[in-house]
């Protein structure tokens, strides 16, 4: 029995991220034990602890089940500062089950005091806020709103666990936090928790948010999904977003392409983005630049993609913006491409963009040689103007 307990606790110590929320849900692979949550810590839904917690909440045997409030700091410190990691966490879970929710505020005050003294107990603190979310999320939220002006991590952990257990109530509670300094932390935690409850519903939730929150929530949800999925699963999830607002795909493609660049065979990113130039998110200038950089990271040349983007999405006010940004990272690679494609429709623009980069770097002779090769006088004039590369 002890071996079983320690095996579970070892998982609590080493698993990080939101995998516990996703385990066995939404069609994604269950990568962690069902006893883990978003931060790789014990899920506050353990059946044994759940029964014991409900008993305490109803006031059953409170005299023997809970510590006297004045003794909470000493009792909590004794648990958190003794024993090996696995045993300590197991004892902490038992301590929380015995003392929640009647001593929750005392435990919160103790943990905050310890953090100020340089003893933050990160795992223990995460477990505490997840446990409080399970037995009295509204009470935990009220406490943070009154006492936790610096409790960004605590708010995030609370909302993760709350959204996992009761997504509708968690989303409703978030709607009343506009005036809170912790609103962004709440949004990030809520987004991850909603992914664990239902990835599709999480996307719908973001679509209903105000403009102030949409992009941040979309990116966090996409990060969580991509992190806990295979590349094929992540692509399938992304493709299903086609019926959603374009802003969601424009945010979601960033973690997806980043993961593909690291985990896929060379050329996979290039193929993915060039096949999707008809999708609305590809018109986003920031996405275009990022996609080009990920093509290069994935071991391919970005210039075929850049040339197609420039043809499909001309920018009359600054047609060299994308080409200049990509050329700035590797002007020699840009020249290799134009030398192999002297008659391509994008060759003049890429020459002009590379000449601009050389001019900005004080390489006037190299720039002059490139300017002489440009056939379009308008592009040549624009490159010579030494305009600052547009920042997006």
Q: Model pTM greater than 0.85?
A: no
Give the single-character DSSP code of 93: H
Q: Which of 377, 360, 358 is nearest to 368 (CA)?
A: 358
pLDDT of 24 higher than 90? no
Domain ranges of the chain: 1-197
d(CA 246, CA 7) in angstroms, rounded, equals: 44
Q: Between the CA of residue 359 and those of 4, 320, 324, 336, what are the distances in Å?
A: 67, 14, 12, 19
pLDDT of 67 higher than 70? no
d(CA 26, CA 15) in angstroms, rounded, equals: 20
d(CA 60, CA 104) in angstroms, rounded, equals: 17
What is the per-residue pLDDT across 230-250, written as a single tens digit (0 to 9) for each?
A: 999 999 999 988 767 778 899
Q: What is the mean predicted confidence (pLDDT) over 369-391? A: 79
Give the single-character DSSP code of 23: T
Q: What are the contacts of 140-148 at 24+ separation with CB within 8 A?
A: 140/104, 141/173, 143/104, 143/105, 143/108, 144/182, 145/177, 145/180, 145/182, 147/108, 147/109, 147/112, 148/182
Q: Between the CA of residue 47 and those of 24, 30, 52, 53, 137, what are the distances in Å?
A: 17, 19, 9, 10, 18
- Give the residue, 207 or 67, on which the prediction is more confident: 207
Lookup: tokens for 16? 């990080």
User: Model confidence at 253, in pLDDT bands (50, 70, 90)?
Assistant: very high
What is the per-residue pLDDT across 303-343, written as a single tens digit (0 to 9) for each?
A: 999 999 998 988 877 889 999 999 999 999 999 999 999 99
Q: Between the CA of residue 178 and those of 87, 147, 184, what are the distances in Å?
A: 40, 17, 9
User: What is the reported pLDDT for 49?
Assistant: 42
């Amino acid at each position: 029995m002890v071996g079983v307990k320690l095996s579970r606790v070892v998982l609590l110590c080493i698993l990080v991220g939101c995998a516990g929320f996703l385990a066995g849900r939404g069609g994604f692979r269950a990568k962690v034990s069902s006893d883990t949550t978003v931060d790789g810590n014990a899920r506050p839904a353990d059946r044994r602890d759940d029964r014991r917690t409900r008993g305490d909440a109803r006031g059953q045997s409170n005299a023997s089940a809970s510590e006297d409030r004045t003794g909470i700091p000493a009792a909590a410190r004794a648990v958190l500062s003794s024993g090996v990691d696995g045993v300590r966490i197991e004892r902490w879970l038992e301590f929380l089950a015995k003392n929640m929710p009647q001593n929750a505020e005392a435990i919160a005050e103790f943990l905050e005091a310890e953090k100020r003294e340089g003893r933050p107990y990160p795992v223990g603190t995460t477990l505490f806020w997840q446990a409080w979310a399970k037995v009295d999320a509204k009470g935990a939220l009220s406490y943070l709103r009154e006492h936790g002006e610096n409790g960004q991590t605590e708010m995030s952990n609370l909302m993760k666990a709350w959204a996992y257990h009761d997504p509708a109530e968690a989303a409703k509670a978030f709607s009343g936090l506009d005036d809170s300094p912790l609103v962004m932390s709440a949004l990030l935690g809520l987004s991850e928790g909603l992914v664990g409850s239902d990835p599709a519903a999480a996307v719908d939730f973001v679509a209903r948010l105000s403009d102030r929150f949409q992009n941040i929530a979309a990116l966090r949800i996409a990060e969580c999904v991509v992190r806990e999925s295979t590349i094929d699963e992540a692509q399938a999830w992304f493709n299903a977003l086609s019926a959603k607002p374009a802003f969601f795909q424009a945010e979601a493609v960033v973690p997806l392409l980043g993961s593909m660049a690291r985990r896929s065979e060379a050329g996979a990113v290039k193929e993915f983005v060039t096949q999707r130039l008809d999708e609305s998110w590809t018109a986003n200038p920031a996405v275009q630049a990022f996609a080009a950089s990920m093509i290069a990271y994935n071991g391919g040349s970005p210039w075929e993609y850049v040339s197609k983007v420039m043809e499909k999405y001309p920018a009359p006010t600054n047609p060299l913006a994308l080409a200049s940004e990509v050329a700035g990272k590797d002007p020699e690679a840009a020249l290799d491409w134009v030398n192999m494609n002297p008659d391509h429709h994008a060759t003049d623009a890429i020459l002009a963009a590379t000449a601009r980069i050389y001019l900005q770097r004080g390489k006037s002779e190299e720039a002059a040689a490139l300017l002489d090769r440009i056939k379009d006088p308008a592009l040549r004039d624009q490159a010579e103007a030494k305009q600052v590369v547009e920042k997006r």
